[in-house]
Amino acid sequence: MDKIEMMRAMVDTGVVAIVRLDSSESLTRVADAIAEGGVRFIEFTMTTPGALEVLGKVSERFGDDVIFGAGTVLDAESARAAILAGARFVVAPNLNPDVITLCNRYSVPSMPGVLTPTEIMQAWDLGADFVKVFPCSAFGPDYIEAVLAPLPHVKLAPVGGVDLSNVAEYIRAGAACVGVGSSLVNNKLIASGDWAGLTERARGFIAGVQEGRS
């Protein structure tokens, strides 16, 4: 799957799961469960101990069935290491031009994190493929709709505070996709091995995306 196909699939799916787990075994179980529910894109955060090793194992295991990206990538060195380990897209909480340049060099989608319209356009002008609006919890879907009114060409991905109650609203407001953490990949469900519960949550988010687009 090349970069354009991957970006199209990410928009079609509409949900990127944000995961922090300390082993490839745990991540494999979670990936199996949420992929069954329709969520095929997982951002694995680089703040996790041994993240690169875990990322390499799961990327090799799943191939194109589940697409793993690296999250919390703060600099170009980390971006390159993650890509070489198997990351297929790169997400950051901040805007670092060097990370976007590095990702474009390797034809890997980038998703830097910003908040204001000025920052959003800076990221887009630098060549970001998606622009992560973070933290979105303080502003909600109305903010996404307001920003897209003058900037309809930008692919926005709200992150922070997205849950089952509002995912349809974010999509309806114009979000290209959303990033979802604990409201999807719930630690209690993981600890109890409730993989069917994770699958059900994933289905709920996919249904919310479809509702927002209908």
Positions marked catalytic: 43, 132
Give the Cα separation of 209 and 178 in Å (integer): 9
- Bridge partner residues of 15 (DSSP): 178
Single-letter amino acid code for the residue at 126: L
Edge-first strand order for the sheet with 110-111 is 110-111, 90-91, 67-71, 41-45, 15-19, 178-180
User: 146-179 in b/e burial notation, b at 16+ Cβ within 10 A?
Assistant: ebbeeeeebbbbbbbbbbeebbbbbbbbbbbbbb
